[in-house]
Chain A
Amino acid sequence: MYIVENTVSVSDLRKHTIDVMKGVARSSKPVVVFSRSKPKIVLISYQNYAANEESERPIHSGRGADFFINTPEKFLIHKKGCDAVKEIRKLRD
C-alpha cells in the first residue's frame, strides 16, 4: 500500500499515480504528499473539495437583513405609478 496513514511520498505518487488517485477518491480523508520528508501538497477527492467550496461560500439566507437588501423579485411591488410617499400619505392624511 502506497498510502501510509494518509501520507504518500512524491516518488510513490509518481510510480503509482492511478492507485493513489483511486485511494483518495474512495477515502473521505485528505492525503498529504511528502517530498524530501516535508509535506508539500494535499490531495483530496473532488467530492470533498466541492463540499468545502460550498461551505465557504457566503450564506445568503434571504431573510431579515438579506431580504431588505436582495428582495426576491416576487416580493417587489411592480404596480405602475406606485409612489411610496403618496401611499403612506394616503394612510396618514
Chain B
Amino acid sequence: MTSSISIDSSVFLSGLTTTDPSFAVSKAFLKKIVTGNILIIVPVLVLFEVLHAYFRNTKDLKKTDEVFQNFIDLNIEKKIRFINIEADFLSYFVARHYEIDLKTLDSVIALVAQKNHCPLVTWDKKLLKNCKGKIQTMTPAEFLRKRTIPVYK
C-alpha cells in the first residue's frame, strides 16, 4: 500500500534555495519521499506558490518553466498528485475552515491534507501551531527523525 503525505510550498522552495537555513534537511526529506513508495498530495496552489516565489527570487522565466516541467514529470512518474480546488473541496472547506483559524491559503493547504487523510509537512510555524491537534503536522526534520510514515488519525 502506498503511503501519502502532503507537503507545504515552504519545503519545496527550501529544497531549491541553498541560502535557506533548512536547505540540507529539505533536500534529504524530499529525497526520502521521492525515492520511497510515498505519494505526495498537494493542492495545485502549492505549484502556484513555489513557481511564483521561485521566479521572484531568480527573475528567470526559462528556469521557472523548467521547474514547472519537472513538477509535471513528477506527476507523470506518479510521485505527486495535484488536487484541484473545485466545488467538491469548497463544501469541505466551508464546513471546516473555522476549526483551524488560518488565512484562506493556509487553510486550503491544511484542509487538503486533512481531506486526503495524510499528514502535512511544513516549515511554517503558523501552520504547525494552528493545525496542532486537528491535522497531523510536522517539520521535515521531525519526519526524518521518526523514519516512518506517520499514520493519519
Q: Is the CB of A64 within 8 A of B76?
A: yes
Q: Which residue of B lies closest to A62 (CB)?
A: B70
Q: Which residue of B lies closest to A77 (CB)?
A: B17
What are 9 inter-chain pairs, A to B, with CB distance below 8 A?
Answer: A64-B76, A69-B30, A75-B16, A77-B58, A82-B20, A84-B11, A84-B22, A87-B57, A89-B124
Looking at chain A, what size class is its interface with the partner chain?
Answer: 20 to 34
> When chains A and B are docked, how far (Å) is the Cα of A14 from the Cα of B74?
55
A→B interface (CB under 8 Å)? 63-65, 67-69, 71, 74-85, 87-93
Report A81 CB to chain B, min CB distance, Å. Answer: 6
B-chain residues with CB within 8 Å of residue A67 when the two chains form the complex: 67, 70, 73-74
B-chain residues with CB within 8 Å of residue A85 when the two chains form the complex: 10, 14, 123-125
User: When A and B form their complex, what is the total count of cross-chain residue pairs whose Cβ atoms lie within 8 Å?
Assistant: 101
Q: Which residue of B lies closest to A73 (CB)?
A: B18
* B 77-113 binary contact with A (CB < 8 Å = 1; else 0): 1010000000000000000000000010110000000
> When chains A and B are docked, how far (Å) is the Cα of A77 from the Cα of B19?
7
Report A69 CB to chain B, min CB distance, Å. Answer: 5
State which of B47-55, B130-138, B145-153 sits at the interface with chain A. B47-55
Report B149 CB to chain A, min CB distance, Å. Answer: 17
B-chain residues with CB within 8 Å of residue A80 when the two chains form the complex: 19
B-chain residues with CB within 8 Å of residue A92 when the two chains form the complex: 49, 103, 105-106
Report B116 CB to chain A, min CB distance, Å. Answer: 20
A-chain residues with CB within 8 Å of residue B27 when the two chains form the complex: 69, 71
B-chain residues with CB within 8 Å of residue A77 when the two chains form the complex: 16-19, 54, 57-58
